Amino acid sequence: MGKLDGKVAFITGAARGIGRSSAALLAQEGADIIAVDLCSQVGSVKYQMAIPDDLVETARLVDAAGRRIVACEADVRDPDALDAAVAKGVAELGRVDIVLANAGIAPTALVEEDPIRVFQDTIAVNLFGVRHTVHAAAQTMIDQGVGGAIVITSSTMGLAGRGGNGSGAKEGYAAAKHGVVGLMRSYAHWLAPHNIRVNTVHPTGVNTPMIRNDVIREAAAALPGMAGAMSNLMPVDAVEAEDVSNAILFLVSDMGRYVTGVTLPVDAGFVIK
């Protein structure tokens, strides 16, 4: 018996990284999945973002766990697209119990041709996208009347300002990741009477394509203080996506049934360094 038998989880940014890892883990624990990813490029992001084949691989992992999946290409900046994805998922899978508002971008680059656009894109995806994700599923969860759980992927940059360098990417990322903590606390109050819990997770650097790419490596090499500012207290360079997914599983399962309104670091001591 799995910890999430009979549940359906709606996950954004599901094509790779923490989203894919969480889809696979929650499926192994018995959940069916509504998986959303843009699967194309945001103009100001210079590293390669997920492509359709990445979402196909997520679907394969969920299938391999013996669970059902409804996979949709949709932009979290578009609330109508998310509403449609959830409606399709609920029509096929019957319900939605868990939301992982996980989609995000980190468009750090050595040179920013248009810092304002970078800032705006980062806020649009990482903050507005979270708002749209939660609202796409919340009313269905309320109407079901059986509670549920929402986890928003923030960052250590949502708890600390270390690593800022005046760039549009860094400013936008820190602002958005702090901003989603405010959303989380607001949603926790809104949804608690319906037994729906809302929390944030705050990873340090995670070993995914978002930070393991040539664009980030070039910026780090040119800004020698960047690596030190972003280092962890424990002697690890980065955590794995699975480490974050394990924390998410705790928060969305009955193991965390009375945990709401918390900011949970998965950060190898980054915040207290």
Q: Which two tokens stand for residue 177?
A: 């990741």
Q: Which of the following is catalytic: 47, 173, 187, 258?
A: 173
State yes or no: is 258 an active-site residue.
Answer: no
Residues recognised as catalytic: 173
